[in-house]
């Protein structure tokens, strides 16, 4: 099968040039691509907000600029503040991207996510309250727990397609063993269930501070590594991050977070991406090798450009393909080509 990562102008122009030839072949196209990265600039603690050095912000911006040049549809960030995003945008000049900043204080809680999105691929959509992000939180006793921030995007390629993106940054049990993360997972599952019951396109991304196999991710959030089971159970999410647990990359990056004090293993998959079953059925197509952990250094072409990862987390990259192999898809493919950045 011919594969085309339709995420930048060069590849789009090449496909356009050879359009008549390739439309006759099996063509795999990725109209939806995403990044999740905990950039570790402003942790959600009052004493640690807006303290990142200029050097760290510049390094983060350079890496994000490289990701933008690859044309990802949405680049989702954790541990950022509004000030961080403003500074990053001042450094990066890319007219193909806009930003939505969900990072803000809600009562005593700091929500700390933001999204840079490719305006050639998607539009941000206001929710029922007329805002561009909604927050999920709840209180138990004296504790306030944050659950998610949700954003709605509309595809510019497929007119009737919307994507419901839930970003989360859960607290760590390594710092607080009394945390009841099963409550957080259950509340998120209840919210997500409203959308997946209607077969809507749902994407979960975040730093969950839990690994894919842990009870709260599997039984309380209701996620599975079994694609066939997800297709037969309306309430389940597909979690491809299970396949990263046995990762052995040549670059030595075998997790999204390196926990130096780990007794049995140090590399952890605590950053994850999960999707609804709608992405597992035609015309969408998903394979587990569409998900990978990125080494930021490998984004740079020459050694002189290399910027070491300024974060203690590594970015997750994910693609979702769409079958455009039939002649009936001609109009859709033409539209994709017309939306290529200039």
Per residue in 242-291, pLDDT (tens digit) is: 999 998 888 889 999 998 877 788 899 999 999 999 999 988 989 888 89
Query: Is residue 122 scored above 70 in pLDDT?
Result: yes
Of all residues in the chain, the percent with pLDDT exceeding 70 is: 81
Q: For the CA atoms of 306, 77, 266, 51, what is the dihedral angle to 10 degrees?
A: 80
**CA geometry: angle at 324 spanning 321 and 328, to 5°?**
150
Q: What is the reported pTM?
A: 0.87
pLDDT of residue 135: 75
- Rg of the chain (C-alpha set): 20
User: How far is the C-alpha of 163 from the C-alpha of 125, rounded, in Å?
Assistant: 10
DSSP code at position 171? P
Query: Is residue 58 scored above 90 in pLDDT?
Result: yes
pLDDT of residue 37: 98
Mean pLDDT of the region 197-203: 95
Specify the DSSP element, H or E, that contains 203.
strand 201-207
Which residues touch 269 (CB under 8 Å, ≥6 apart)? 211, 212, 241, 244, 245, 255, 256, 257
User: How far is the C-alpha of 8 from the C-alpha of 12, rounded, in Å?
Assistant: 6
Domains belonging to the chain, first-starting first, are 2-338 (3.60.10.10)
Query: Is residue 28 scored above 60 in pLDDT?
Result: no
């Amino acid at each position: 099968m011919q594969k085309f990562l339709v995420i930048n102008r060069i590849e789009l122009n090449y496909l356009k040039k050879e359009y008549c030839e390739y439309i006759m072949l099996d063509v795999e196209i990725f109209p939806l691509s995403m990044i999740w990265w905990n950039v570790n600039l402003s942790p959600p603690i009052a004493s640690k907000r807006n303290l990142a050095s200029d050097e760290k912000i510049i390094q983060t911006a350079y890496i994000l600029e490289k990701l933008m040049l690859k044309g990802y549809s949405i680049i989702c960030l954790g541990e950022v503040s509004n000030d961080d995003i403003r500074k990053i945008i001042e450094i990066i000049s890319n007219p193909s991207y806009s930003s939505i900043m969900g990072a803000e204080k809600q009562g005593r809680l700091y929500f700390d996510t933001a999204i840079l999105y490719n305006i050639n691929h998607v539009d941000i959509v206001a929710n029922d309250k007329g805002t561009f992000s909604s927050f999920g939180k709840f209180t138990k006793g004296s504790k306030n727990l944050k659950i998610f921030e949700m954003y709605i995007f509309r595809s510019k390629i497929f007119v009737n397609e919307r994507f419901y993106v839930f970003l989360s940054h859960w607290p760590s049990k390594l710092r607080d063993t009394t945390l009841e993360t099963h409550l957080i997972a259950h509340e998120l599952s209840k919210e997500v269930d409203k959308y997946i019951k209607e077969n809507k396109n749902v994407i979960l991304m975040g730093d969950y501070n839990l690994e894919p196999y842990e009870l709260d991710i599997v039984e309380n959030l209701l996620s599975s590594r079994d694609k066939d089971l997800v297709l037969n159970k309306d309430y389940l999410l597909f979690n491809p991050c299970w396949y990263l647990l046995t990762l052995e990359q040549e670059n030595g990056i075998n997790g999204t977070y390196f926990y130096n004090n780990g007794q049995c293993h140090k590399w952890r998959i605590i950053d994850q991406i999960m999707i609804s079953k709608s992405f597992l059925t035609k015309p969408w197509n998903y394979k587990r090798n569409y998900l990978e952990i990125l080494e930021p250094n490998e984004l740079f072409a020459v050694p002189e450009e290399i910027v070491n990862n300024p974060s203690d987390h590594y970015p997750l990259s994910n693609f979702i393909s769409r079958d455009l192999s039939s002649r009936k898809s001609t109009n859709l493919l033409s539209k994709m080509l017309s939306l290529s950045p200039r």
